[in-house]
Structure 1
Amino acid sequence: MTELLVALLCAALISQYLLRVALPGDPPLERRRVHALGLATTLLVALSGAFSYLVVHFVLQPLALDALWLFAYVPVAILLSQPLLTVLSRRVPALPFDGLWLPLLANAGVLSVVFLGPGNTTQLIYSLGIGPAFWLTLSLFNDLRQRIDHNDIPQPFKGLPVDLFSAGLMAVALLGLNAMIKP
């Protein structure tokens, strides 16, 4: 569970950095792109988790190719990403989905479902929960960065150093929440 939280925080940090490089200085548009990336990630993880589960159980297992389970998920995620962004841009025109293909595929939240196991039901259940958790983490980190931008920070700490420090504090807070659940 701790590894999953750290992976989600890293994914949020990387995606937030990619969004900030693409859109410097426009907070309302950056916020909408954060929500666009969160929605696209949520749907891509859920759809690719479900489709890869079907591919593993109905294509690879009957052919006795269980060892190729990794190759069932990554191509499905790649093949679903562009049509998903196209459909989302038509269905939700208020959010800017253009230019999100690379951050969506480079997202550790999307790729973390692969490491949960070869096409079992746990992977299917986690694929439904990782997307909203990533969206929440990305939104929280975006709000934190907007608050930090309005504070007086010494020049050596502006930019990436304060982002890394903030990500570390968020990780400690999430680990504290993780310690509340006893197995």
Structure 2
Amino acid sequence: MTDILLSLFSAALINNLVLQWPLGIDPLLEAKGRRQVHALGLATACLMLMVGTFGYMVDAWLLAPTHLTSLRLFAWLPLSVLLIAPLLRLLARRLPSLPFDGLWPLLLGNAGVLGVALLNGRSDQGLGSAMAFSLGAGLGFWWVLSLFDDLRQRTFNNDIPLPFRGLPIQLISAGLMAVAFLGLRGLVKT
């Protein structure tokens, strides 16, 4: 049980996919507005959990026993693409107050979703740890997305020199957030 909690905590804070592994930075820069940020964060967290869990099961129960582990990417990529539309329909039906329209391209282009499956396939810690890592990665992405949106709103209202407005200050902010999260490195070894 402790390993599962450490895996969840580590994926969310210490080994954050967006800041430590630069995966999923495109949706971070594209999402605007508090409601869209939370819709994208929830959809990404659910998708990472589903792809990480199903990807681990496909790898451990189908590809590894048949010695076809070289086909992992060809199994996980269609899995992640095929789960996006049903997930968005389900979330839109369950939470009609959040705008899930137009999130399909952001979820499709999120390299963090495929990164979760690849990192789960690299470690042999069991289905529980794979699910905890996937959920932690999704929650970490959502948290960074919320923090980055708040930071973007704060920099929008401040007097920033003209060459740094827009994307340059956003990338500098993402780098500073990565340095802040780097301070947590070494706290938990997984």
Normalised by the length of structure 1, the TM-score is 0.83
Are 1:12 and 1:138, in contact at CA under 8 Å, matched by a contact in 2? no
- State the partner residue of 1:41: 44
Out of 79, 84, 106, the residue aligned to residue 82 of structure 2 is: 79
Any gaps of 5 or more consecutive residues in structure 2? 1-9
- State the partner residue of 1:127: 134
Superposed CA deviations along residues 8-35 of structure 1, whole A, max 9, x for unmatched, are 1345642132224xxxxxxxxx110110
Superposed CA deviations along residues 109-152 of structure 1, whole A, max 9, x for unmatched, are 21221331427425443112100000000000000000111111
Map 1:44-55 onto structure 2 (within 5 A): 44-55=47-58
Are 1:13 and 1:138, in contact at CA under 8 Å, matched by a contact in 2? no
Across the two proteins, how many residue pairs are aligned to each other?
172
Question: Is the deviation greater in 7-16 or in 93-102?
Answer: 7-16
Normalised by the length of structure 2, the TM-score is 0.80
- State the partner residue of 2:179: 172
Any gaps of 5 or more consecutive residues in structure 1? 21-29
Change (3 A) 1:170 1:47: same
Check if 1:8 corresponds to 2:18: yes
CA RMSD after TM alignment: 2.3
Question: Is the deviation greater in 125-134 or in 63-72?
Answer: 63-72
AA paired with 1:71?
F
Check if 1:100 corresponds to 2:103: yes
Superposed CA deviations along residues 14-70 of structure 1, whole A, max 9, x for unmatched, are 2132224xxxxxxxxx11011001000000010111112222233323433232222
Q: Give 3-state SS (helix, strand or coil) of 1:63's partner.
A: coil
Percent of matched pairs sharing the same residue: 49
Aligned counterparts of 2:61 and 2:25: Cα–Cα separation in 1 = 36
Aligned counterparts of 2:176 and 2:111: Cα–Cα separation in 1 = 20
Aligned counterparts of 1:167 and 1:126: Cα–Cα separation in 2 = 22
Structure 1 segments, 4+ long, off by >6 Å, are: none
Check if 1:111 corresponds to 2:111: no
Check if 1:144 corresponds to 2:138: no
Question: Which structure ranks higher in relative contact order (CA pairs < 8 Å, sequence separation ≥ 6)?
Answer: 2
